[in-house]
């Protein structure tokens, strides 16, 4: 009896399971197809326009969840408006998207901040992100020093979950495991139960990531179709740095089935170009958080009061 009691007392306490689930309303997202820019007008850049296109779909989400703040002034109200915003973002003055390299991670925050804050004047939008070094690129230098709000780190599940629970709009970039290319999507949801309580997303826990893929953003048959989520399994893995065997990264890995098909709205080609299941490492995340409704309500009241003051001052 004493021996059994001793075993019970020495048994380690079991760790409680915790579930992390945050999935946004998919109907709030834009469904701009990156291949909508695969025309002569845009020098057939659609194949490489995933970052600016995901940025448009993400900003449309922000506009839809905070209409009292943005109105329709962020991405407009039509599919043609979205194409126009995408055309702005691909330009050298914003994300500098090219057919040679696509969009570098060190241009993502710069392009979004310049468009949302400097161009559109939505100064209350808060930015945060995780983008690892190297920040500089000799062939295509960063257009700004690393912002204080952009951590020098690969994205973590905690950052993704916190972004979703705060209602932020988040653009994610990834690189295929074979290093052949990269992609970008709009974060839409995260669903994980930490079965063993170790705070790590293990492969056998079948965590799911939800996102709007700009190469397959809608189930519709025309630009009014509405957004859809793609989902894939996500887990954490230790990945060695190919250039330095002493460095190991704790990396989020995403496995999903990319779309292979044709563009619905014109252009000469479309689809993800990768058959079957694909694996990718998440490489960067930039989140945009809108002010609380009470905050922009106060801003509106303050603006109205200022206008009233000016009008009163102008009366004879």
Can you say how many angstroms the Cα of residue 209 is from the centroid of all Cα atoms in its chain? Answer: 12
Please tell me the least confidently modeled range out of 3-7, 124-128, 277-281, 289-293.
Answer: 3-7
* Percentage, residues of the chain above pLDDT 70: 81
Beta-carbon contacts of residue 63 (< 8 Å; ≥ 6 apart):
70, 71, 72, 73, 74, 75
Contact of 232 with 210, CB cutoff 8 Å: no
DSSP state of 221: S
Any idea which residue has 């689809």 for tokens?
A: 271
Beta bridge partners of 233: 208, 255
- Tens of pLDDT, residue by residue over 129-159, are 999 988 987 777 899 999 999 999 999 999 9
Any idea where the domains of the chain sit in the sequence? Answer: 16-314
What is this structure's pTM? 0.87
Please tell me the least confidently modeled range out of 68-72, 101-105, 186-190, 296-300.
Answer: 296-300
* Residue among 169, 177, 148 at smallest CA distance from 285: 169
Mean per-residue pLDDT over the chain, rounded = 86
């Amino acid at each position: 009896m004493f021996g059994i009691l001793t075993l019970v007392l020495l048994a380690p306490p079991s760790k409680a399971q915790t579930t992390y689930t945050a999935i946004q309303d998919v109907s709030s997202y834009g469904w701009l197809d990156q291949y909508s820019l695969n025309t002569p007008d845009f020098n057939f850049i659609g194949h490489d326009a995933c970052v600016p296109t995901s940025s448009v779909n993400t900003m449309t989400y922000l506009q839809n969840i905070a209409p009292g703040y943005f109105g329709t002034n962020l991405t407009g109200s039509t599919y043609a408006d979205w194409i126009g915003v995408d055309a702005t973002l691909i330009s050298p003055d914003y994300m500098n998207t090219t057919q040679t390299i696509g969009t570098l991670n060190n241009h993502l925050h710069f392009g979004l901040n310049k468009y949302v804050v400097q161009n559109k004047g939505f100064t209350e939008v808060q930015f945060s992100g995780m983008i690892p070094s190297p920040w500089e690129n000799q062939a295509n230098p960063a257009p700004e020093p690393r912002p204080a709000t952009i951590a020098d780190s690969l994205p973590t599940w905690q950052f993704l979950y916190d972004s979703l629970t705060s209602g932020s709009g988040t653009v994610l970039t990834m690189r295929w495991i074979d290093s052949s290319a990269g992609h970008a999507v709009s974060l839409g949801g995260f669903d994980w139960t930490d079965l063993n309580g170790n705070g790590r997303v293990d492969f056998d826990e079948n965590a799911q990531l939800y996102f709007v893929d700009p190469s397959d953003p809608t189930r519709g048959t025309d630009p009014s179709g509405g957004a859809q989520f793609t989902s894939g399994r996500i887990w954490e893995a230790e990945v060695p740095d190919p250039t330095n065997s002493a460095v190991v990264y704790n990396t989020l890995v995403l496995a999903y089935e990319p779309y292979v098909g044709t563009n619905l709205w014109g252009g000469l080609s479309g689809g993800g170009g990768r058959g079957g299941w694909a694996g990718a490492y998440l490489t960067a995340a930039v989140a945009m958080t809108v002010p609380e409704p009470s905050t922009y309500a106060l801003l509106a009241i303050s603006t109205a009061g200022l206008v009233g003051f000016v009008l009163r001052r102008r009366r004879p």
